[in-house]
Every structure is written in C-alpha cells, then in structure tokens.
Amino acid sequence: MSVAPAGTALAGGTDGPRALRSFLDTVLDALTTGAQDRSGPLPPGGPDAVARAVRDTCLPLLPEHGTGPHAALRTLVHTLAAGAADPADPHCAAHLHCPPLAVATAADLAAGALNPSMDSWDQAPAASELETLTSRELAALVYPRATDPDALITTGGTESNQLGILLAREATHSPRTTGPLQIVCGANAHHSIHRAAWLLGLPEPVTLPTPDGTLDPATVHTCLAALTGRTGGTSRTGPVLLTATAGTTDSGAIDPLPALADLADHHGARFHIDASYGGPLLFSDTHRTALTGLARAHTVTLDLHKLGWQPVAAGLLAVPGPATLTPLGHQADYLNADDDTEAGLPDLLGRSLRTTRRPDILKIAVTLKALGRQGLGDLIDRTLAAARTLADLIDAHPRYELHSRPTLTTVLFRPTDADDTTLAAIRRSLLSEGHAVLGRATTPTGLWLKATLLNPHTQPGDLTTLLKLVEGHTPR
Ligand SMILES: Cc1ncc(COP(=O)(O)O)c(C=O)c1O
C-alpha cells in the first residue's frame, strides 16, 4: 500500500493509530495553550471580541492550498479552546453543560476513529452488541422489576422527549380513539415537550401552573378528570399523556412522581417522565430515593451529557419492554432486508428515527465500566454536596437571598437589594469579563441568578470566590 501524505492519512486500520498519535500531540498542546490563554471560564470581551479573534486566526477557511494538518489543528483547536466556555472551570455554572470526563472523551476519540454507523449490523458489528448490552444495563436501573427493559440512544433530552411523545401517540392511536393525543405538562416542563407536540401534529399541551416549581397533584387531578371525562371508564375526548419532570431546567426540582403515577393510572393516561437532569441519581445509594416512582412511567428520558459527565451527545429513552418500541420498526432494503433479518443479522433501524448514527454508546460504556455504579454515585453525591454548600454560604451571607434549598445541583440566588434589571446586568458583566458564567431563571418571584453545579471537583473555596465575584458587581 502506498503511504498517504500526512493530511490524508486515515484513522482506521493498523496504521491509523500511528497517524492519530502524532496529531494528538498537536491537539493536546493546543488545548493546553488555549486554556492558558483564556485563563478563566469564558473568553473576555463578549461576542464581538471572540468573533474577531476567530476571524483573525481562522480565515481563510477554504484556502486554495491547505496549511497541512498540524498547522490547521494547532490554529483551530487553539482558537476554539481560547474562546471556549469551559465547564471544567468551577465558575462555569450557567447551564446543564457538563465537564466531560477525560476517560469518556478518550473513548469518544476511538469512536471517531472506528466510525461505526449504528444503522446496520454490517457497519457496526461489535458496537451494535455493545449498544444493546449497555442500553439494557441502564434501562434496568430505571425499571428494576421489568423483565426485559430497554433503552434507545438519542442525541439528548430533546430527542428523547420527542420519541417518548411519538411512542405515546402511536400506542394510544386506534380506530376507536376520538381525538388526538393531548399532552398535559407543567409550566416547569422543558420547552422540548411543546416543540415535540408541534412537530408531531398534536394539540398545544395543556400547561398547568407550577407556582412552587413542581406539579401539584390536585391541579393535575382536576385537569385529567376534565380531559378524560371519567374517573374510570372510557375517554370522552381522546388519549392523554401526562409528562412530569425529574430535575427541572430552571431549579432542578422533581415533580411528585408517585402521586402523578397514581393519577395517570387512575385516569387511564399515559405517563412520560423527563429525567434528563435528575435521572443519574439512580447511581447514588444516598440520593436514588428522590426518584421513587420513576419506574411507573411508560417512557423515561435520561441524559448523560448533563449529570453524567459525558461529551455531547449521550441521551437515552428508557422503556420497560421491547413492545413499547414496536412503532419505530421500519424497513429499508439496503439496511435491513427481510431475508437478512431472518438469517440472523440484527435489525438496528427501528432503534432510532435517525439513519446514520454515532456510536455514542462507547464513551458511556467505558465510563460505566471504569467507574462502576459506586464511582458514578460518588460523583453524584459530591456534586449534590457542592450545591448544598453553596446554598449554605448564601443562607449565611447577609447580602444574598436563597430561592430554596437545592434538590439537585441548581442553586437560585440573588443579592437582596438587586432588581431584575440589575441582576441581568450583573450576569452579563461577569460574562463579558470572562470571570464567571451564571445562568438566569424567571420564577413567580422574579428573576434569579442560577448556578448549575456539574463539576464534582468543585471546592468550597471556589464557591466563596463565585459569590465574591457577584458581590463585586452588585451596586451598594
Ligand atoms: C429537563 C430537561 N429536559 C430536556 C432537555 C433537553 O436536553 P438536550 O439539550 O440534551 O436536548 C433539557 C436541557 O437542558 C432539560 O433541562
């Protein structure tokens, strides 16, 4: 075989790793120097300064003659790292944007090099088996009593919620149904529930108020009774899907899952839980009980690129048994011809709405195996402890107000005398200086600063500094 010029070497085969190794040195150096140049959680200067730096270093992006692989990697990786919002910095705490584990990121490199595509067995022989085994392992955590639980791998909470709603629509559709599936959710639900309804041609979800941050069972009961027109008999208006959230985006609150499961049962409604954020509490001996009731849902969204320390994407939709997934069955002769399936080639097409699909399962499987359930549980415990420490510091501080004790790792707070405009300005000043990345949450009691802690290595001193940074921008 002739030797390929450096920039065109392939990543696979027995020679691929050698080509990769030399590039990796360049990439890792550029990651280091980029982070050093940034020296904080965010590049300073705001959008204009960052855009200018990217243009100055990266253009032209399609030169007539290439720079060669090392120069391209050095320039672009350095620029991206210098201009990154780095969730590994303890002061980068705005969103459910986690710092990925190095071990998971290393596994993702292998996924890229091998490039299995998860839409047919002949593109992903071992990867498809690994996906089956790992999905089942995770699904068994969600549904410990089910005999054959399963999970689909998705791009995250949005896709999992869409799939959960699609499966509900298909499962409840029959010649006898009198209307379309009606979703009932809380005002605390993720916006993807509403988007999925729109995408799937369903009516706008009935959105119940959640003034205390979670769904109120009495309000849900009244709503379901009115919609189903029954307390046990047949539905008057068509099927209903109740969706609950285990870990809301704004405050990390968990809806009262057992009571909502009872209500869904009582009114004959389908039940979906979006546990994108809170789901990984299943790994923790200490905190697992916060998810009691999860196993009573027909479908459960999990997302390991939030509280699971995976590089994006690492979503799952867990189901209690394979029958739930039947509506996704699909046939395309080039991928799953009937005779191939009959001859024993696994049929992967019904495991996603996507066709070509990355083997996101590899990094997940490597993480599970490397850390074990207890190792992951320990990371969960530490991260929840950091949020409680931050809440304590805020509680004890004369100039801060705490919204509520954290359920997961989100802490809402504000300087006692700051109005909404001042709060929004504090957040933007911290962003443009690059000193801290805090989020914002609007609740019935106004605007709050939001710290979403996802870094398990955060120390109390980091949190004290974070509060000092906010204080430094608060007018006296
Ligand atoms: C509760 C909840 N559900 C779903 C999502 C969507 O997840 P993703 O961004 O991975 O699609 C989010 C995102 O933050 C979320 O907080």
- What confidence score (pLDDT) does residue 231 get? 45
What secondary structure letter does DSSP report for 202?
P
**Fold of the CATH domain 110-369:** Aspartate Aminotransferase; domain 2 (3.40.640)
- What confidence score (pLDDT) does residue 209 get? 98
- What confidence score (pLDDT) does residue 476 get? 79
For residue 396, the CA-to-ligand 1 centroid distance in Å is 32
* SS3 state at 319: strand
What stretches of 205-307 adopt beta strand conformation (E)?
206-208, 240-245, 270-275, 299-303
Residue nearest to atom 4 of ligand 1 (CA): 157
Query: Are the C-beta atoms of residues 448 and 414 closer than 8 Å to each other?
Result: yes
Atom of ligand 1 nearest to the CA of 159: 11
Contacts 24+ apart (CB under 8 A), 61-70: 66/7, 68/6, 68/7, 69/6, 69/7, 69/23, 69/26, 70/6, 70/23, 70/26
Residue nearest to atom 10 of ligand 1 (CA): 156
Residue 191: φ, ψ to 5°? -60, -20
Structure tokens at 327: 């509506």
Structure tokens at 4: 């390929």
For residue 341, the CA-to-ligand 1 centroid distance in Å is 35
Beta bridge partner(s), residue 184: 206, 242
Atom of ligand 1 nearest to the CA of 249: 16
Query: Are the C-beta atoms of residues 23 and 69 closer than 8 Å to each other?
Result: yes
Going by C-beta distance under 8 Å and a sequence separation of 6 or more, which residues neighbour residue 73? 23, 26, 27, 30
Q: What is the Cα–Cα distance from 476 to 115, expressed in whole angstroms?
A: 56
Structure tokens at 132: 């089956």
Residue nearest to atom 6 of ligand 1 (CA): 157
DSSP 159-172: HHHHHHHHHHHHHH
* Angstrom distances, CA of residue 337 to CA of 151, 172, 220, 330, 333: 24, 29, 46, 10, 4
Q: What is the pLDDT along the chain (476 residues), one digit of tens a residue?
A: 556 677 899 999 999 999 999 999 999 999 999 999 998 999 999 999 999 999 999 999 999 999 999 999 999 999 999 999 999 999 999 999 999 999 999 999 999 999 999 999 999 999 999 999 999 999 999 999 999 999 999 999 999 999 999 999 999 998 888 899 999 999 999 999 999 999 999 999 999 999 999 999 999 999 999 999 854 444 557 999 999 999 999 999 999 999 999 999 999 999 999 999 999 999 999 999 999 999 999 999 999 999 999 999 999 999 999 999 999 999 999 999 999 999 999 999 999 999 999 999 999 999 999 999 999 999 999 999 999 999 999 999 999 999 999 999 999 999 998 999 999 999 999 999 999 999 999 999 999 999 999 999 999 999 999 999 999 998 87
Q: What is the Cα–Cα distance from 394 to 113, expressed in whole angstroms?
A: 46
Q: Give me Rg for the CA atoms of the chain.
A: 24
Amino acid at 113: A
Residues with CB under 6 A from ligand 1: 96, 156-158, 161, 190, 192, 245, 247-249, 274, 276-277, 303, 315
Q: What is the Cα–Cα distance from 234 to 214, expressed in whole angstroms?
A: 29
Query: Are the C-beta atoms of residues 419 and 410 closer than 8 Å to each other?
Result: no
Based on the number of CB atoms within 10 Å of its own CB, is 284 exposed (0-12), middle (13-18) or buried (19 or more)?
Answer: buried
Q: Are strands 410-415 and 446-452 parallel, antiparallel or unpaired?
A: antiparallel
CA-CA-CA-CA torsion for 110, 116, 119, 121, nearest 10 degrees?
-120
**Best substitution site from 255, 291, 306 to test ligand 1's pocket, by max atoms within 8 Å of Cβ?**
306
- What confidence score (pLDDT) does residue 38 get? 96
* Angstrom distances, CA of residue 120 to CA of 125, 127, 269, 341: 8, 10, 35, 11
> Where does CATH 3.40.640.10 sit in the chain?
110-369
DSSP 128-150: HHHHHHHHHHHHHHH-TT-SS-E
H helices of 89-244, in order, are 102-114, 125-142, 157-172, 191-199, 217-228
For residue 105, the CA-to-ligand 1 centroid distance in Å is 21
For 83-101, how does the pLDDT look when each residue is reduced to its tens digit (9 = 90+)?
A: 999 999 999 999 999 999 9
Atom of ligand 1 nearest to the CA of 157: 7
For residue 190, the CA-to-ligand 1 centroid distance in Å is 7
Query: Are the C-beta atoms of residues 169 and 181 closer than 8 Å to each other?
Result: yes
Residue 233: φ, ψ to 5°? -120, -155
- What confidence score (pLDDT) does residue 418 get? 93
- What confidence score (pLDDT) does residue 174 get? 86
For residue 60, the CA-to-ligand 1 centroid distance in Å is 35
For residue 161, the CA-to-ligand 1 centroid distance in Å is 9
Q: What is the Cα–Cα distance from 258 to 277, expressed in whole angstroms?
A: 18
| CA-based nearest residue to 205, from 225, 190, 218 | 190
Is 1.20.1250.20 the CATH classification of the domain at 372-472?
A: no
- Cβ atoms within 10 Å, residue 21: 9
- Cβ atoms within 10 Å, residue 242: 30
* Angstrom distances, CA of residue 188 to CA of 245, 256, 279, 413, 431: 8, 13, 17, 18, 26
The reply to whether omega before 60 is within 30° of 0 (cis) is: yes
Which helix or strand (DSSP H or E) is residue 153 part of?
strand 150-154
- What confidence score (pLDDT) does residue 232 get? 47
For residue 135, the CA-to-ligand 1 centroid distance in Å is 19
Residue 150: φ, ψ to 5°? -150, 165
For residue 300, the CA-to-ligand 1 centroid distance in Å is 13
- What confidence score (pLDDT) does residue 3 get? 61
- What confidence score (pLDDT) does residue 475 get? 85
Atom of ligand 1 nearest to the CA of 312: 10
For residue 248, the CA-to-ligand 1 centroid distance in Å is 9
> Where does CATH 3.90.1150.10 sit in the chain?
372-472
For residue 158, the CA-to-ligand 1 centroid distance in Å is 6
Atom of ligand 1 nearest to the CA of 158: 11
HSE (side-chain half, CA atoms, 13 Å) at 344 = 1
**Best substitution site from 190, 210, 360 to test ligand 1's pocket, by max atoms within 8 Å of Cβ?**
190
- What confidence score (pLDDT) does residue 2 get? 58
